[in-house]
Structure 1
Amino acid sequence: MDTRTWLSTLVGIDTTSRNSNLDLIETVRDWLDGQGVQSWLAHNETGNKANLFATLPAADGTVQGGVVLSGHTDVVPVDGQDWDTDPFVLAEKDGRLYGRGTADMKSFIAVSLALVPEFLAMPRKKPIHLAFSYDEEVGCVGAPVMLAELQGRGIKADGCVVGEPTNMQVVVAHKGVNLFNCRVHGKAAHSSLTPQGCNAIEYAARLICRIRDIADAMKAQGPYDQFFDVPFSTMTTNQIKGGIAVNTIPALCEFDYEFRNLPGMPADQIQSQVERYVREELLPRMQAEYADARIDIETGASAPGLQATEEAAITQLARALTTDRTVRKVAYGTEAGLFQSVGIPAVVCGPGDIQQAHKPNEFIELSQLDGCERFLRRLGQSL
């Protein structure tokens, strides 16, 4: 199966994050088995999703060390988007291949799989590992399950290439992503009897304004990293709901917020400001009106930032293979920081343009697939 055949197969399996990805994972597993490559799966709690990890041993059978080729199998929804073609049928036009996941990021997986027979034939001194995860798009949920299993099995790697779309340029850093759900519990009352209630929406609004204040302070005061397109940490409230009627004091207001922290800026340094405001200022005011008032903040998905060093072997290898020496850092998150957090140095480098990700008529240039094939082929030859 060549790259295009693999990409057509992968795009044709709807792995929107709300769905199971087992059809895709089992297709890959069975094909690898036919190539003589053993793999193992790490499932989620319900068993309807799985990560896949496979090792292509070195010529002498070595399975430790080497490089991980990492990609996520899930894609974002196409709901409400106006596509010119069926998003789950690969279509070619004017040197581009269209379909959901072509840019983000099934093309990297397709190239990696297409090159497996070549990788196996190479007289490599080090192994190549394949790591395909679930639920990256909803907060990098699957990769930690796989990495825990990886550590439990005692498998070590020298480095990792995460193939998110970078136009085959080397990205050495990205921000962390941290998601939170907040539920503000007040007391319902008829709106004509306001003093008898405790307005959850109004207190949620105070907290949301404080979150904006924290964001404004990070924008004004830093820290900064000018290599990022947004050179400071950001924080936003992105969803909210509350209230049951126009004439009822709301007993509940729920909202979601996130922050994206620069690598090197601890996430708890930001979150502690929210918690301190709740504990020292907001909750005492609420409980003065209603003793049982409370504010619950639940940590959602999170992924650490990436800060690769230029001295790391994987950084030097990626730069040598691409001849790309420019320092690039991106605001979006990837699984690279998770690999780094367990001691596997990582960079981000893959085919396609992030500007095409998540949009209708998502596409990848055929030239990007060719470039990725050259890159990964040379990577295998260098090991």
Structure 2
Amino acid sequence: MSELTAQTSKQIMLAADALALLKRLIATQSFSRQEDQTALLIEDFFRQNQIPFQRLKNNIWAKNLHFDEQKPTILLNSHHDTVKPNKSWTLDPFEPLESDGKLFGLGSNDAGGCLVSLLAAFAYFYDRPNMAYNLVMAASAEEEISGRDGLELLLPELPPIHFAIVGEPTEMQLAIAEKGLLVLDCTAHGVSGHAARNEGDNAIYRAIKDINWLTTYQFPKVSPTLGPIKLSVTIINAGTQHNVVPDTCTFTVDVRVTEQYTLEEVIETIQTHIESEVKPRSIRLKPSSIPADHPIVKAGIALGRHTYGSPTTSDQAVLDCPSLKCGPGHSARSHSADEFIYLREIDEGVDGYIRMLEQVL
């Protein structure tokens, strides 16, 4: 058997293993913070491929056989937790069902297809000698809730990462930038009084003034891939009864931040321009990007893929290295009722990852 034929046969077998693993993952409940059983399935995949692995809580990771500390390292990452199924499901979300070229089931698209495709690609390269890069594969937990016991917990245990491929459903297109997320809890302060008399200082009116600024202000720097920063007021609460002028009004702001600003810069700008008290819930979920001329991006473009900026947040937000979001499946199917992935997308995912990595390894 020629070397090329052997490699093709190995890829076909790994793609079949990836599909079988995906079906087992679908059949196993893995809500965020409850991923212990799917972690065992991923451990089994590594054992079956004779790949040593390590586990930290519900995060599973492994290094290539010929790992060399003198070489830079590529991180391959996707998550094995899922959201809870919504009430619109007409199928059993935990029953992997093949129909009309599709595989239905919770987590099939987000991000099971990406995870098993990356696992197959990692296994394909695992024992290859003389690569220019090391490979680390990390199947992480708690991505759907941006939890602290997911990839963020694991990163200090990993070797320094040169760049990362994060598996999320992008139809194997190249998301070279991703917006970060800020959630701001704001409080407008006034003075209570009787609504029937000209008393008090209505905190609602103070909040309205600030909300008007938030919904009309445009940050000057606009990202070429992600566009402008987007601010949305999503929750507001005030008052206890109809005849009392409220002395506080709280509101929540969802801020999608581009790579043109740090989260701290955005907070400072908002605090400067509004009177309400501003408290960020977290400054962990940073915007991320990778240069358009990076070798892994050029490898994807050579395969006919296009680049774009993603408005959604993933585990990229906790990475400090350049990162590319790319994977089989379609983002619009994520978190939807009767979630599915096309069977051909698994093959395309395995093949796409392997062909992209071939260009840099």
Same-fold call, TM cutoff 0.5: yes
Q: Which residue, out of 66, 70, 86, partners 2:77?
A: 70
Alignment: residue pair count: 341
Question: CA–CA distance in 2 between the matches of 1:245 and 1:52?
Answer: 52
Corresponding residue for residue 311 of structure 1:
293
Tell me how far 1:351 sits from its aligned partner: 0.2
3-state SS of 1:109 partner? helix
Alignment partner, residue 179 of structure 1: 183
Aligned residue among 88, 110, 114 for 1:104: 110
Task: Measure how far apart 1:357 and its partner are.
Answer: 1.6
Aligned to 1:299: 281
- Report the Cα distance in structure 1 between the residues aligned to 2:350 and 2:107, rounded to whole angstroms: 18
C-alpha separation between the residues in 2 aligned to 1:194 and 1:28? Answer: 66
Give the one of 231, 234, 240 matched to 2:230. 234
The aligned counterpart of 2:139 is 132
The amino acid that maps onto 1:56 is: N
Q: Is the 8 A contact 1:181 1:297 kept in 2?
A: yes
2:205 to 202, 206, 210: 202
Counterpart of 1:267?
Answer: 263
Structure 1 distance, partners of 2:222, 2:233, is 22
The aligned amino acid for 1:24 is T
Measured in 1, the distance between the counterparts of 2:107 and 2:335 equals 8
The answer to whether the 8 Å contact 1:122/1:380 transfers is: no
Question: Are positions 1:22 and 2:36 aligned together?
Answer: yes
2:154 aligned with 1:146, yes or no?
yes
- Counterpart of 1:352, as a letter, is G
SS of the residue 1:10 aligns to = helix
TM-score by length of 1: 0.77
Post-superposition offset of 1:350: 0.4
Q: What residue in structure 1 maps to residue 165 of structure 2? A: 161
Aligned to 2:29, the other structure's residue is in SS state coil
Kept in 1: contact 2:262–2:286 (CA 8 A): no
> Are the equivalent residues in 2 in contact too, given 1:6–1:113 (CA < 8 A)?
no
For residues 234 and 102 of structure 1, the distance between their equivalents in structure 2, rounded to whole angstroms, comes to 30
**Corresponding residue for residue 46 of structure 1:** none
One-letter code aligned to 1:73: H
Task: Supply the distance in 1 between the matched residues of 2:96 and 2:242 (Cα, whole angstroms).
Answer: 49
Cα distance between partner residues in 1 of 2:37 and 2:198: 55
Q: 2:221 aligned to 220, 223, 227, which one? A: 223
In structure 2, do the counterparts of structure 1 residues 124 and 309 end up closer, same or farther at CA, with 3 Å as the change threshold?
Answer: same
**Structure 2: 5+ residue stretches without partners:** 1-15
Shift in Å, 1:31: 4.5
Secondary structure of 1:373 counterpart = helix
Amino acid at match of 2:141: Y
Do 1:140 and 1:334's aligned partners in 2 also have CA atoms closer than 8 Å? no
CA–CA distance in structure 1, aligned partners of residues 251 and 36 of structure 2: 32
Aligned-partner Cα distance in 2 for 1:86–1:187: 53
Structure 1, unpaired ranges of 5+: 44-49, 284-294
Is the CA contact (8 Å cut-off) linking 1:71 and 1:133 kept in structure 2?
A: yes
Which residue pairs with 2:214 in the alignment? 211
Q: 1:56 aligns with which of 45, 64, 74?
A: 64
SS in 2 for 1:361: coil
Give the secondary-structure state (helix, strand or coil) at the position aligned to 2:209: helix
In structure 2, do the counterparts of structure 1 residues 117 and 212 end up closer, same or farther at CA, with 3 Å as the change threshold? closer
Contact 1:39 1:53 in 2 (8 A): yes
Residue 313 of structure 2 corresponds to which residue in structure 1?
A: 333
Q: 1:92: how far off?
A: 1.9
Contact 2:176–2:308, Cα closer than 8 Å, also in 1: yes
Give the drift of 1:124: 5.5
CA RMSD of aligned residues (A): 2.9
**Aligned-partner residue type, residue 28 of structure 1:** I
Q: Does 1:346 align with 2:330?
A: no
Distance 1:316 1:51 in 2: 30
**Pairing 1:93–2:93 present:** no
Relative to structure 1, is the Cα distance of residues 30 and 91 closer, same or farther in structure 2, using a 3 angstrom cutoff? closer
TM-score (norm 2): 0.82
CA displacement at 1:85 relative to structure 2: 0.8
